[in-house]
Amino acid sequence: MAGLEENLLAVRARISDAARAAGRDPATVALLAVSKTWPAADVRALAALGQHDFGENRAQELLQKAGELPDVDLRWHFVGQLQRNKAAAVARLGAVVHSVDRTSLAQALGRAGEGSGRLVDVLLQVDLGGPEGELGRRGGADPASVPELADAVAQLPGLRLRGLMAVAPRGEEPRPAFDRLAALAARVREDHPGAVEISAGMSGDLEEAIAAGATIVRVGTALFGDRPLPCGGDRAHQPHESHR
Ligand SMILES: *Cc1c(COP(=O)(O)O)cnc(C)c1O
């Protein structure tokens, strides 16, 4: 708990410093805590410290964690690749979906939104490219197709288009990629004035994202600690160790 609190304060300070350095009001940058791989107890502890928004990247894990926390006032976000057959369950939680990258997924979420009578907030995930072989690995729509996808999403009655999301490409300076994302977001906003959010920046590059105009930063490691290696690696698991 002490570690979590320390980490939360440090991340908030990084966000404030980056916003001020960019001439922005820190209140215009929201912190999304990405709790993937961490237990519901950590979400509960962080929520008790005032953190409201939490993100997951696997539907199964999101549903399970949400089921363990029915009494906690928080808002879920989904930031991973989403299968159409999981769309309704994710929408039912009232989750904001950051990773819409194709019309078929938008339609499935739209039907879920209509069926539940609650609009589903969505962001379009943009593939910012990267070294050969990595393209598409993390999901995301081709930037050239994003304005068209935005038009399609805006026409679906069950959805509310909130903005764009991206992960910085590996092996490249993040800032130019975030600038491309911000330019695309401005273009989308011309036709869809409600699409104000830019979800960009993680533990390692949130300063660059905020400088480029991010309104939501998605932070996991710097809050919760290093995630355990996926396949039983030999590195000891260090819960809540400070990231910097
Ligand atoms: C895991 C994840 C994050 C958080 O990454 P950290 O480097 O741990 O801060 C942000 N966005 C997405 C899409 C993720 O999958």
Mutate to test the pocket of ligand 1, among 11, 218, 227, 244 (most ligand atoms within 8 A of CB): 218
Q: Can you tell me which atom of ligand 1 is nearest the CA of 79?
A: 13
pLDDT in tens, the chain (244 residues): 569 999 999 999 999 999 999 999 999 999 999 999 999 999 999 999 999 999 999 999 999 999 999 999 999 999 999 999 999 999 999 999 999 999 999 999 999 999 999 999 999 999 998 655 455 556 899 999 999 999 999 999 999 999 999 999 988 899 999 999 999 999 999 999 999 999 999 999 999 999 999 999 999 999 999 887 665 444 444 455 554 4
What is the per-residue pLDDT for 227? 80
Q: Is 166 in the pocket of ligand 1 (CB under 6 A)?
A: no
Residue 154's contacts (CB-CB under 8 Å, 6 or more residues apart) are 161, 191, 192
Query: How far out from the chain centre does Cα 238 lie?
Result: 24
C-alpha of residue 174 to centroid of ligand 1, in Å: 14
Determine contact, residues 166/128, Cβ cutoff 8 Å: yes
Residue 182 Cβ inside 6 Å of ligand 1? The answer reads no
Q: Does ligand 1 have an atom closer than 6 angstroms to the CB of 221?
A: yes
Residue 155 confidence (pLDDT) = 97
CA of 220 to the centre of ligand 1 (A): 6
Each as own residue / partner, the long-range contacts of residues 192-198 (CB below 8 Å, 24 or more positions apart, any chain) are: 192/150, 192/154, 192/161, 194/160, 194/161, 194/162, 195/150, 195/161, 195/162, 195/163, 195/164, 196/162, 196/163, 197/123, 197/162, 197/163, 197/164, 198/163, 198/164, 198/165
pTM of the model: 0.92
Q: Please tell me the distance between residue 202's alpha carbon and the centre of ligand 1 in angstroms.
A: 6
CATH code of 2-225, in short, is 3.20.20.10
Residue 236 DSSP symbol? P
The terminus-to-terminus CA distance of the chain in angstroms comes to: 17
| Pocket lining: 203 vs ligand 1, CB cutoff 6 Å | yes
> Residue type at 121?
D
Question: Domain ranges in the chain?
Answer: 2-225
Q: Contact 3/241 with Cβ under 8 angstroms?
A: yes
Q: Is 230 exposed, middle or buried (0-12, 13-18, 19+ CB in 10 A)?
A: exposed
